[in-house]
Structure formats: structure tokens, C-alpha cells
Chain A
Amino acid sequence: CSFSVEGDAIKVYVRVRPPSEGTVLTDGDQSLCLSVLSSNTIRLHSKPEPKIFTFDYVANMETTQESVFSSVAKNIVESCMNGYNGTIFAYGQTGSGKTFTMMGPSDSDNFTHSLRGVIPRSFEYLFFLIEREKEKAGSGKSFLCKCSFIEIYNEQIFDLLDSASAGLFLREHIKKGVFVDGAVEQVLSSAAEAYQVLTMGWRNRRVASTSMNRESSRSHAVFTITVESMEKNNEIVNIRSSLLNLVDLAGSERQKDTHTEGLRLKEAGNINRSLSCLGQVITALVDVGNGKQRHICYRDSKLTFLLRDSLGGNAKTCIIANVHPGSRCFGETLSTLNFAQRAKLIKNKAVVNEDMQGNV
């Protein structure tokens, strides 16, 4: 396998969307705040010095949907067939092209559209691989795919497949890991069916508009497909299961205020105004006291807890950071690139306690 040699660090892809229609592009255009230098570097025209960022992959404005899918998601879907858990995050400011990248153009029938995004293509590829496996193995191998679709809003969990349900809870099972207690699970038999479930749930999401932003999603949405394979070899039954998580993070411009800050990365500044956030401040102080035994009363955010495996276990994870090249978006673009830069540092950590290192 090709992936056994790669490290566990999270892969980060940056995609630059074209400016809105009607704007003519010329090289060195003053209205652009960045240029793509190569397939993994980007230059931000900051003052006084321009800033160069390096990522695993940078997709420029001409990059096709197909090419984004092949370089970002293909590998992860394949690993998923091999029993790994995989997660794809989309991150970026509202209007930076997140939905286009993940879902495709906002027409009704994305599933057959030539510009369809990463998610429908992942579905197609997953079911293509499953069919191929089945053919190869004959009747000895069978697959079961299920999906759930939840939304995390204000640290509460809602089921997008059952809009009548109240808040749900995260729980852990000693054999099965973290799960959302009571979330609807739908059995899937084809890519088209998966897409149908996804679009149905997508409509239930919470969005909001302000005079600054036209429409911004205020919640994180997590679409999870469980792939279970069962192989019979004589009398021995071999069951393997893995998860594929497709995560649409809330518009990055809103994160600081709603405290739904997705991945707990060290944020640069931003004062919490409410005294009731004092605990978060203290928690940050305790985090520094490394090596010592301590207990933090405040859990990780719901999102990090749910995706703990993707951020620190045996999983393949990538982040697609979407940016808008317009100079008016400079601030947000900078903060997205900074976030993406930090995300590269998250490693799938499996540290053994200091205390357990034993005496000689």
C-alpha cells in the first residue's frame, strides 16, 4: 500500500476560488491579495513584506473539481476501504467557495452535474470500490453502509436526518468508540441514495445573514458513512469497519464569537467578553503546565470530541482551506491561511504518559 509510509500529520490543501463573475483577471491585478506560485506555495501580498505559505497542495483558480477530488479525497476513500477511518474538513470564510468545493454548484441536481464537488464524487468512488471488491471476492464478501448526519450548533448536537429530535448526546462505548446517542442511521445501497440523504439533511442546517455577510452557516455539519465489510473464509468470519467523516465547518469568520471554534488550536487573540467564559481562560493557563498531573473540567468542544480519532488516532485526515483572492478579503484570507498552517502541526498523537516511562 502506498499510504503505509506516509506520516500521520494532517494534510492541508488550499483552494483559491475565482473572483465573482464579471471581474477580468490580469497578472499582478491590484484587486487580488494573493498569487499561487506553485502547486504547493502561495504568496500573500501583505505589507510591508509579502508572505509565503507552503501547504501539501495549493489549487489555483483554474483547478477542476475532478482534480481537487483526486488529490484530496481519493486516497482517503481508498484508505477507508482498507479499514482506516478518514475525515475531510472544509474550512474557510463564507463566500470562499466551501460549498462549491464540497457539494458543487447550488443548482438542484448536483449529483450528475459536471461541476459536482468532493462529496458526491467521494460517494461515487466509494460505491465504485465496493462494487469492484464484491465482484472480485464473489459471494464471500459483503458490505453494509450506513450514514448519519448531525449538526453541532452552540455546543449542542442535532440530528439533521430527524429534524424533530431534540439535542443529542455524545457517548463512548468501550468497543465502538465515540458515538452520538440516538442519531438516526440510514442504510445506503448506492451513491445516489447517499447524495439524496445528504441534500435532505443539508436543507435543515442553520444559516444566518448579517449586513456584513450575505449568508453564513453558523453550525458545523458532520456527515458520517460507516462502511462495514464481512468476509467469509471457510468458517472464519472477518469483519472490518471504518468511518468516513465529511465535515463542513461553520464559516470561519463567525468562530470567535460563537465559541464553536472547531479544532482547538491556539487562537491568536480575541477577548472573550462574557465573564462566564472565565473557565476557558483558566483552562488555557493550565494547559501550559505540561508533564504534571492535572484535570481540566472543561471538555474539548463537541466537534473535537466526536472527531477525536481523526485528530489524534489512527485515521487519515485532511483539511481543505478555501480562500477568496479578492483584496477585500485580505484579513480573512490571512487568518484562514494561518489556521491552515497551524493545522499542519496537528499530529496523530499517541503519547505514553511521562509517568509510565519507567525507572531504570
Chain B
Amino acid sequence: MFANCLKSARHNKFGSLARYESTLVIAEHNNETLTPITQAVLSAAKKIGGDITVLVAGTKCGPAAAALCKANGISKVLVAESDAFKGFTPESMTPLILATHKQFNFSHIMAGGSAFGKALIPRVAAKLDVSPVSDVINIKSSDTFVRPIYAGNALQTVKVKDSIKVVTVRGTSFEALPLEGGNAPTEPAPAGEYKSNLIEFIKQELSKSDRPELTSASVVVSGGRGLKSGDNFKLIYSLADKLNAAVGASRAAVDAGYVPNDMQVGQTGKIVAPDLYIAVGISGAIQHLAGMKDSKTIVAINKDPEAPIFQVADYGLVADLFKAVPELTDKL
């Protein structure tokens, strides 16, 4: 214990935020590759200071663990490979995280604010009887976090009084920590019987796409109700291909069945913050803006000059998208 404290103190010699902190980061992966949001969580963990331990659980942990060992500034990677973690169900992951926490006594437990992290982290927090903090966009100190509320229309700064801080991190708000320059050891995570009989993972039906992944793409082209049909979305795909962009959608486009749900950008869909966001035929409801208004440059193409999207757009084009989008695709 004393040795641990010394180690942490040394680590924080030049850090201003905190002392004696130790963070457990729950890695997100798909048994083949590490999910990029994990790198953003590592950056957030570094802001807290202190030791960083990463936990990789799954049916096949090799690739993710190998990638994480190369991250600069983490102290170790714990690996729990077992059929118990098929589907990464919170019901099986939670007892593993609790056992790991019991052994190492972390001050912080963090994961990305993805569907995985959102499902898992509150279950862990409740077992520890602490109040978790969701979707943190800034870390002011080891116990003080900033998070958006009301669909991003207000920023709330909260101070956590619980001794263990359990948080999810908004991936777009922290730089991805490069997976290079480090050489952390891997160790087995605490052993135990983690298989849950409460839940059984059956299958995933994932949308296949050759385009960049939506939440980490540097350019995103999104379509809304104005596209009028799923067929017309090919205008969006052509423009996106020209820009090597990911394709997003408004809720209206998803509800109308033009595109699948995992393309929805907004308060209840994905949060994106690319260098360039092009909104086509999207009015710009509060709920959509929540998912994209941190984009560096926003372009809106809409025939309604009163559309709220123009209030956040850097460049607006009041035009019929069926003419403007093919023209734009041609001229790029």
C-alpha cells in the first residue's frame, strides 16, 4: 500500500490535478480490434494523473491487449479471456470489474460513453453504491467533471463526493492517445466464475460499410427528411465517397426507414465532432444539433432559409438539395 502511494506520488510530481490516483480503464473491443474510443478514455485517464490500468475482457483478448501494451504511460494491461464474456454483457463484466477493483482499489473507473460503456458503467457504480457521471467532456480535477445536459444546451460542472469516481467519457472531447512508445506488461485479471445465467448473448446484426466509422471520421455527410426516400440517400453516399466521409442521418431519416438506426446523429444517437460536417436536408432540431454542433466546420444545404441548422452553420447554401448535392459532388 505504502509502496503504491510512493509510486503514485512520483508519477504525479509534475502533475497538478491530483495525487495518489489510480484509474481502471475498461477497454472496448470486438475480439479483433480495439475500439478507438478507448484511446480517448486513456487520454482522459491521463488528465486525472496517477497509475492507469487497462482491463481487457472478451472471448479473444490478444489483439486488443497487444495494441494497448504499446500505449504510452499505462502501467499494466489486465486480461480476462473467457467464454463468459461472450457479447460483453454487463451481467458478466460487472463481477469481473468488482473483483479487479477489490484487488487494486482504484480511485477511478472509466469507460467510453458508447453503447458498451453506457450499458456497463452504471451497473458497476450501483454495486459500489456510488453515483456515476455520464459522458464527461472535460476533467477539471480528480473529482470535478464537466458534462453536457439538456441535449448539450447547458454544461454542468459536478463535484463527485463518493470516494470512487465512476465515469463514462465522451470520445469526441478527448484526443486519442497514440498506441506507441509504451511497453506495459500484461497480467491475468483476477480469476473467477463470471458467466451470468441471467442473460444470454444471441447475435449481432451489424451494418456493413466500407466508409470510415461515423464517430471517428474527419468528414461526415448527413441526410435528413429532405432526402424523401432511402433511394435518394445515394446522393449522400456519392458525396461522402468523394470526401472519404462517413454518412450520418437525422432521426427523421431513420424513423422513415431511409437508413439504419446506427447512423443516427444526435442526443440519442451518435455524437460526432468531425473537421467538416455537411448537413443535407436536415432542419436542425435541438436533438440533432446535440450530436454535431462541436464539429469544426458545419455546412448546411437546405431549401428553407428559416431552418434552424443555418444558425449553427459556418457555410449555408439555400438550395434544392437534389440540384446542389450532385453539382457539389461533380465539382469536388
A and B found bound together: no
Please list the residues of chain A having a beta carbon within 8 angstroms of any beta carbon in chain B.
none
Please list the residues of chain B having a beta carbon within 8 angstroms of any beta carbon in chain A.
none
